[in-house]
Each structure stands twice: as structure tokens, then as C-alpha cells.
Structure 1
């Protein structure tokens, strides 16, 4: 069997596609899989690292105003449909899967018009423009948040199936006691993890100015990933503090699995994959959604977890040193609340998301069904 996957622009679109590809390969080693993306997108770097071939088309998202640049993008989109058709005719896929980003719009739309089985996976609580459009054309839609369903067009309502976001295997298998040994964190210490997305969060870093000294004074373990762009500034602002070995400030967090398993609270942004990881583990969260994301989707993600009882949402406009300091130490001092939030987070999370995704694809696609 042959499958095309397409998702691009951000890791949040690309990594779910790779997880789906890996699962299909695991279940059907003889399957042929290619990706479709853009040369400018992050997918051009990520996909080959996982051993998959990627074909390129050229497409850009439309602006919300009518201007000459938008006219150019219309013609670019039309050409991308032609290029997509050629890729489809050459490869002859049995299934085409889109995981978001403008690049997936062209290939999935063209495949659906050519009578090929198609589906999309939406990672966020607020569906992206591309996926809302495609939901009218595809055979079925995989979602990650229950409350996203009301935001899809009425024509798509009977196609929606909630699966959650797929999570890396190492996140699921990490264990608290072992992870603390690996990280050198004493079993009797509370631990705070701060990871404001892969690039860090300057807003969260700035809001920690009152907290760092208190964490050291109270002998609380922590790992703070500042983001590479903000690391030197952060270190300079706190250069007079003497840290214990289990109090770490790093520019980038390579080992998310062990840090999530070891911590008592995580502070982070509301990217769909980040939230999938924290809820798969069941870590109480203080979530600071990044402002100015498309359709403000990060705040919708954060509010979903907050409403479920697994997190506290603080928008960037509400964030300040006093507010963050208060929330952190109130939680660290309330074991019962931490326990309830952890339970709610686990209930919210989908540890079996990739299995649910595969089972739904298998159910919908005759060529994947086993005798």
C-alpha cells in the first residue's frame, strides 16, 4: 500500500505526521510512504532525518487583505494543485493524510477531487483555516480536543473522530523515580520545570525574576529552559545566585521525557504537542499561551485543559512576576491540589492517541484491514 502524508510550517504539524507514518510502517513494514511539503518549511529538514522521502510543492497562505501579493499567491496555489496532481499520478497513493499547514491543503484537496481516500488530523482546540476548509472534502477527520468539534463546519460534523495528539514513546515510558536518578534530583525535593516552547518564552523568563531567588532559598529543584536567544540575558540577570546541582538553567531542553516525569509542576506554552506530552504524563501545569498565534489557538488549547482541571491558564497580557510567583508557590504548597490536577490532566490526555489514530485509519481503509 502507498500513503502520502503532508503537514508543514511548524513542528506541531510535522511531528504528528511522522508519528502516523511510523505507526503505519510498524504495522505494515512493506508500505510505501512519502511526504509532501515546501522547501522553505521546517518539514524539509525534519522529514529526511526520519528516513522518509519528501516531495516539494510551492504554496503560501493567503493574507486577510486583497493586494498584489495575495493575487500572486492565488496563482501559486493553482500551480500547487497541478504539481500535487502530478505527484499523486506518479505515486498512486491509496491514502492521503494532511496534518495541517497550507501545504497540506493542496495535496489533500487534489487527492479528494481525484477520488482517493483522504483524512486530516487537527492538533488544536481551534481548527486551522486549512483543516476547516478540507474537512468538507475529506472522508474523515481526526481531532485532538473535544471542544474543537463545534468549530468545524456543519458539513463535517459526522466525519469527526477524537483521537488526541500522538506522543513520543520516550515520554510515555519515562518513570518518575528513574528519571530523578538520571537527573540527580533527590526524591524528597519538589521540582519545577519551565519550558516555554522550543524557542523559549521571553515573557515567562521575565516573570520569573522574583521566583528564582525563592526557589533557591527554599531548596526546590528546577530546570528552566530559557530558549537559546534569551539564555545569556537570563544568566546575566541572575549571576549572583549560587545554584545547587539539581537547579539547572539551560538554553534548550534536550531531555523532555525525564524532566516531565521528574517534575511536580510544568510551566509552558500551549502548543498542541507540548500539551499532549504534559497531559500524557499528568503533570499539573501553569500554561502561558503565546499571543498572536493563528486564530489565537494556543489560548483555546490552554482553556480546554484549565476547564478540565488539569492546568491554570495565564495569558501573556495577564502575566507578571507577582502573579506567576503566587501561582507557583501556592501549588507547591498544596499536595492535595497537585494530586487532583495530576489526575485531571491524565484524564484529559490521550496516551493511546497513535493507536486510536491508526485504528480509525484502518477501519476506514479496506486495504489496511487484516484478515
Structure 2
């Protein structure tokens, strides 16, 4: 029996590739012990447990990009979180540590390498994040999803172009079950609007506005994933909108959602794009304009240039 520790930051883009990888590892090695570590207070903790895996939380936080008081406390939080990461790695002594990018994976990969434990980093985006660029210097292997990412890690002999791991359930959805769960007509086509695991206010507002203009007699149904922060407001707006608009806080069964959808309107996070490709769904991609170094536009352009999606800047 071996043990693998997977470090994730807590949002869908980092959690779901970790879950996909864990599911594949366990299918090949049923006796393998898989343990996740995740930032405390993040929704990813619940998703990991729902997927059937054990998770330990750590007090690590990301670096705020805008100046503020958080800059003053960040060094102290980093030191405290770093000690927590070291204690967990030293205490668990896994046979392999995997980081899926983001601020949590960096300390775990660093301390594992320091202790002589094999390490692996997954980078989902076309533009490697800061954590990946740093971790690539001491990780045994770095696996990326886009050729552009290889080019942005020059001189790294440990970089491999592997693609993004996708959960098997994404390709095994039940369209009828999704329609029944959300009270959708069995015949009318469905447009699925996704803002990532945290929702997107601009997409939600645009979808509600489009639904109102189309009216209740339009031959289409719109399902909007509004996210935790935007759900209450979106639900209030939807109460006065045509009844062919349906708002939900979060879609847990993405495979069934994709199976039911005729078209997907979404941000262009790397894991959303990987799932769209696996599910074979056409998409209109609206990149999040404030993503670090505009990496979502690079992600979307990779799909649009190959005829797999339409890019709306």
C-alpha cells in the first residue's frame, strides 16, 4: 500500500483535476491511500469529501494583487502556513506529493522535495502561474496542458505535455436526470451558462437580460450557475424573469449538465475547457478580464483557433 498527498488551493480549477487524478490512481491501485490538503474555509473541502476522499485543511492564503492591509500580514500568514505544511508532509510521509497549482501547492511541493519525497506539479492553464513557475525549479516532474505552457518554462527538462485530467463522470452524464432535477422541458434545447465554480456576475446578468428579451415563448431554456456569492441576487432577478430561465447556485453533476446542454456559455478557465472538450459541447467563451496575466484569453484562443469554440473578448 502506498500513499499520495495531493495539495489543492480550494477552487474548482485546482480541486477537480486533483479529484480526477485521484480517481484514476485509485482505479489502478485500489489499495492506494489518497489524502488531499486544501486551504481552510474553501468550498473545495466539501467537494473533495463528496468525491470520497480524506482531506486535511491548512491555514494558507494567496497573495492579494491589490495593495492593502493583507500585504502587511501576508508574511506572517505564510510562515505559519508553511510550518503547517511542513508538519503535515513530515507527519504523513507520503510516497508522492502532487500539487495542482495555486498558493497551497507551492509550500507542499517545496517541503516534500526538501525531505526527499518525489514531487509532481500539474499546470492547467496556457500561462503557468507563479506557484508553478517557482515549483518547476525543484519538482521532479511538471505536467502541462498546453504547448504554450511548455514555451513559458524554458530550460526545464522535467516538463511534459500531458493535457488536463478530467473526471470520468464528465463523459457519463444523464441528460434526462438533469432536466428532471431542474424542472426543464424534455424537448426544448438547453443553454447552460457557467461562471466557473464561483459564478460570474457579468455572465449571469447577460443571461438574465437575454432571457427577458427572448421572452417565455422562446424555443430555449437557460440554466445559470450563479455561484455562492451571486446566487441570492440572481434568484431575486429570476423571480421576475420568464419561467424558461432557471438559476442554480452550483452544479455538482457537470456530466449530466453537459449532456443536457445544446450550447454552453462560460468563462475560459482551463478545467472548464477540458471538460467541454471531453463532453464534446460547443461553447461561447467569455474570458474573465481580470485573470492573472489574462491567461483565460490565452486558454480560450487555443480552443477558438481550432474551431472548438467562439471567443467573445
Same fold (TM over 0.5): yes
Higher mean alpha-carbon deviation, 177-186 vs 2-11, is at: 177-186
* Aligned-partner Cα distance in 2 for 1:44–1:177: 29
Higher mean alpha-carbon deviation, 65-74 vs 3-12, is at: 65-74
Q: What's the counterpart of residue 352 of structure 1? A: none
Displacement over 6 Å in runs of 4+: 65-68, 175-182
Q: What's the counterpart of residue 337 of structure 1? A: none
Higher strand share: 2
- Trace 1:44-83 onto structure 2 (pairs within 5 A): 44-63=45-64, 69-70=70-71, 72-83=73-84
Q: What 5-or-longer segments of structure 1 have no aligned partner?
A: 316-371
- Trace 1:286-301 onto structure 2 (pairs within 5 A): 286-301=284-299
Kindly indicate whether residue 114 of structure 2 is the aligned counterpart of residue 113 of structure 1.
Answer: yes
Q: What's the counterpart of residue 260 of structure 1? A: 258
Q: What's the counterpart of residue 235 of structure 1? A: 238
* 1:226–1:171 distance in 2 versus 1, CA, 3 Å: closer
Secondary structure class of the residue paired with 1:12: helix
Shift of 1:18: 1.9
Give TM-score, length-normalised by structure 1: 0.72
Answer whether contact 1:123 1:272 (CA < 8 A) is retained.
Answer: yes
Alignment counterpart, residue 267 of structure 2, candidates 258, 266, 269: 269
* 1:230–1:104 distance in 2 versus 1, CA, 3 Å: same
Secondary structure class of the residue paired with 1:109: helix
Give TM-score, length-normalised by structure 2: 0.83
Q: What's the counterpart of residue 6 of structure 1? A: 7
Higher helix share: 1
* Aligned-partner Cα distance in 1 for 2:178–2:210: 28
Shift of 1:63: 4.4
Q: What 5-or-longer segments of structure 2 have no aligned partner?
A: none
Secondary structure class of the residue paired with 1:308: coil
- Trace 1:1-371 onto structure 2 (pairs within 5 A): 1-63=2-64, 69-70=70-71, 72-152=73-153, 154-156=154-156, 158-174=157-173, 184-186=185-187, 190-208=189-207, 209-210=209-210, 212-214=212-214, 216-217=216-217, 219-225=218-224, 227=226, 228-238=231-241, 241=242, 243=243, 247-252=244-249, 253-315=251-313
Higher mean alpha-carbon deviation, 44-53 vs 158-167, is at: 44-53
Shift of 1:134: 0.4
Query: What root-mean-square deviation, in Å, do the aligned CA atoms of Structure 1 and Structure 2 show?
Result: 3.0
Answer whether contact 1:5 1:36 (CA < 8 A) is retained.
Answer: yes
* 1:56–1:213 distance in 2 versus 1, CA, 3 Å: closer
* 1:205–1:181 distance in 2 versus 1, CA, 3 Å: closer
